[in-house]
Chain A
Amino acid sequence: MRALTLTALLLASPALAGGERVITLGGSVTEIAVALGAEDRLVARDTTSNFPPEIEALPDVGYIRALSAEGVLSLDPDLIVAEGDAGPQQAVDVLKAAGVPFVLVPEDPTPQGIADKITAVAAALDMPEAGATLAAEVQDGLATAEARAAAVTDRKRVLFILSLQGGRIMAGGEGTEAEGIIRLAGGENAATGFQGYKQIADEAVLTAAPDLILMMAREGDLAIADADILSHPALAETPAARNGALVRMDGMLLLGFGPRTPEAARALYDALYGQAGG
């Protein structure tokens, strides 16, 4: 199907062929491009693009907000699709001046936003049908998750811990992606009263009384043993620690608000209510 579409477009307008050497910047954009089936058209990615794992074999052009114009150009791209905050502006200007189509995809961590992003990436890659299919699929999944969440009567409280360096708890507060996914999974964010990801006091953790602790799965020395987390003085007294309710999920899956978000919501829902027979 892809080949067909491409051929059609190549014939129609060679200049806007949707790119045979594409660079995707931003984890969610890369993930969508791969989900659309454009994986073998990608020639490079940025540091935040690490899913699926195979994608990490591609050259890395650096952090999305500190791009090197010449580094990107050296890969000879004919299309760049980027999340809205790609930069610095000078590098983006130079890339545009070099005649490389540069498509910025809007950011909006809502179900509609995900669908829009998929549509935009698909349009840039000239794969409208695949885009429509994927967007519909994801919207269905999200609708299912929302319905499932709405059906929950006794909401469990979830504390998202971004990091636990040196015993200090950095939690996800209001307006965070973490809160978004917790809601979508039918849970309630236990960390309230502050915006963004902030360090919170031990006493606030006790007051929050989470039923489940949610963390990102990390590798290497950043990983902390479950036992260490559950024996943290503040966390040990929470219902979550007493029940050993600690869930770790891949960060991009959990917070990426991309095609895998329905999957993440399902997994978290299962962790919260699945075993309890909910």
Chain B
Amino acid sequence: MVALAPPSPGLARPDPRRVTLLLALATLLLALLSLGTGAAGLGPAELLSAWADEGLDRRAQVILWDIRLPRLALGLMVGAALAVSGALMQGLFRNPLADPGIVGVGAGAGLGAVLAIVLGGLLPAGVAAFVGAHLVPLAAFLGGWVATLLLYRVATRGGRTSVATMLLAGIALGALAGALTGILVYLADDRQLRDLTFWGMGSLAGASWPRIGASLPLILPVLVLSPLLARGLNALALGEAQAAHLGIAVERVKRFAILGVAAAAGAAVAVAGGIGFVGIVVPHLLRLLGGPDHRHILPQAALLGGGLLVGADMIARSLVAPAELPIGIVTACLGAPVFLWILLRRKGGMGL
């Protein structure tokens, strides 16, 4: 960073490394809090003392190892995947309104999930037994991938991907997926309707170690490798041509960003359903906090996204206990006002 003291009125931005450290600490704290929170009581103190005496009874063990830990892990993964995907897409599309859904992941995954919920019963018995309860996430992930690859193909001519075409084709594809979903909704019975309503509102209730194992290889590499795209995304803020003159392999950045988002956001949506606003709000908050440099934003998005989702899940689990709210409702209820607040605070200066 520039070491000179600003002689003129400038941005009083905190040191990005300190922001990262604070976010890491906050996320860790939230994670511990989340482990010690739940309808069944079992606060942190009890867990600790029970652990120390190795005296966790079976119920407490199940609550810790099969309920809270997988939910915590899935919450961190899904939140991080959505937020990092959002940051990648906003950087790539040079648009602060972009979110992971912009590459068709949401529409495709939604269609896949609805297909599985409504028509899953028509699968041959052998296949149904093989995929079992994983049919919906599997279909959602495949749907997201197919949609993204389709958009990417449509928007790519002679090795160059037109981001604008991708955006427009995405709108068309979204409308088509919406119509197909509509047909399936029409065919659906009552139970299926409720299932797909709940799917659309997102939940971490499906957390289990096998599911985490299945989505980790899709999400973790994107989280770890995304900072490699940071310089390219920074340069892309000047436009594609300028970025190319700055020596950025623009087409490669686009390809990796799009496929990375399809993998990470696709996996996140597949295991947790439709969780809105994390992908769009987190990068915004971070830009306000420490500036738009993607080298800091990408790792920070993973931390803040994961932390926010873990926090939202705590609310979802405790507010109406012993029942729980769909987490998408919580993120939207928290996210939408924050988003409006950002917009109102910045009225006039639209340099988002």
Footprint of B on A, CB under 8 Å?
44, 47, 59-63, 65-75, 85, 88-91, 93-94, 97-99, 196-198
Contacts and interface: CB of A to CB of B under 8 A. Distances in A.
Point out which of B198, B203, B326 has the most chain A C-beta atoms below 10 A from its C-beta: B198
B194 A62 contact: no
B284 interface: no
A47 B41 CA distance: 22
Given A71-B39, A90-B205, A60 B59 contact: no
A61 B186 CA distance: 29
25 contacts: A60-B322, A61-B323, A62-B323, A62-B324, A65-B194, A65-B198, A66-B203, A66-B205, A66-B326, A70-B39, A70-B68, A70-B317, A71-B323, A74-B322, A75-B322, A85-B191, A88-B203, A90-B208, A91-B205, A94-B62, A97-B62, A99-B58, A99-B62, A197-B189, A197-B190
Contact of B67 (A47, A61, A69, A89): A69
A47 B39 CA distance: 17
Contacts of A59: 322
Contacts of B207: 90
Given A74-B39, A74-B40, A74-B41, A68 B63 contact: no
Given A59-B322, A62-B323, A93-B208, A74 B62 contact: no
Contacts of A61: 322-323
Interface residues of B, number: 33
A68 B205 contact: yes
B191 A71 contact: no
Given A65-B191, A69-B67, A70-B67, A99 B59 contact: yes
Contacts, number: 97
Nearest to B188: A196
B251 interface: no
B133 A88 contact: yes
A74 B208 contact: no
Nearest to A43: B322
A71 B324 contact: yes
B45 to A, nearest CB: 17
Contacts of B203: 66, 88
Contact of A67 (B38, B205, B320): B205
A198 B322 contact: no
Contacts of A196: 189-190
Nearest to A89: B133
Interface in B203-224: 203, 205-208, 211
Nearest to A60: B323
A68 B198 contact: no
B293 interface: no
A85 B324 CA distance: 18
Interface in B169-206: 186, 189-191, 194-195, 198, 203, 205-206
A88 B59 CA distance: 19
B66 A94 contact: yes
Shortest 5 CB-CB contacts between residues of A and residues of B: A62-B323, A71-B322, A74-B39, A89-B133, A74-B40
A86 to B, nearest CB: 11
A266 B211 CA distance: 50
A232 B222 CA distance: 57
A269 B208 CA distance: 50
